[in-house]
Amino acid sequence: MKKNILFLMLIALLSSCSNDEKQNLESAVIGNWKLIEILADPGTGSGKFRAVESNKTIEFKSNGTIITNTSLCDPYSNEIKSTGSFSLDSKTITTNCQNPNIATIFFELKDDYLILNFISNEGYSQKFQRIN
């Protein structure tokens, strides 16, 4: 009986930790972010983030949606606004892009920066800094 109680307490503790982590991630990612660097690897693994002059922003909203002021479907374009949704569990953004390689974009928070990792043979990532 004691083992069962300990087991149930352990499960409750573990599930509350994952909820705390999810809430921490949500509070960290919600808000407006501005593009500051791009990593475009030549296919050798030697790519590094390089500073860019850009007005590109992305907003993560508390209702699970994202809005950008430029295209997510074509990361090199500044013409079309994009929308989509995001998942904290899988750390992905789902877009309405026709290109299956950009339909899902992975994101991570690293050293207070938001990194978008696009599916690419060579490696392509965008680094954003919080602006609010």
Least confident of 18-22, 26-30, 32-36: 18-22
Indicate whether this model's pTM tops 0.85: no
Query: 3-class DSSP state for residue 94?
Result: strand
Strand-pairing partners, residue 87, are 92
SS (H, E, C) 7-47: HHHHHHHHHHHHHHHHHHHHHHHCEEEEEEEEEECCCCCCC
Polymer length of the chain: 132
CA-to-CA distance for 96 and 87, rounded, in angstroms?
15
DSSP H helical ranges for 30-129: 100-103
For the residues 106-119, what does the mean pLDDT come to? 94
CATH topology of domain 2-130: Lipocalin (2.40.128)
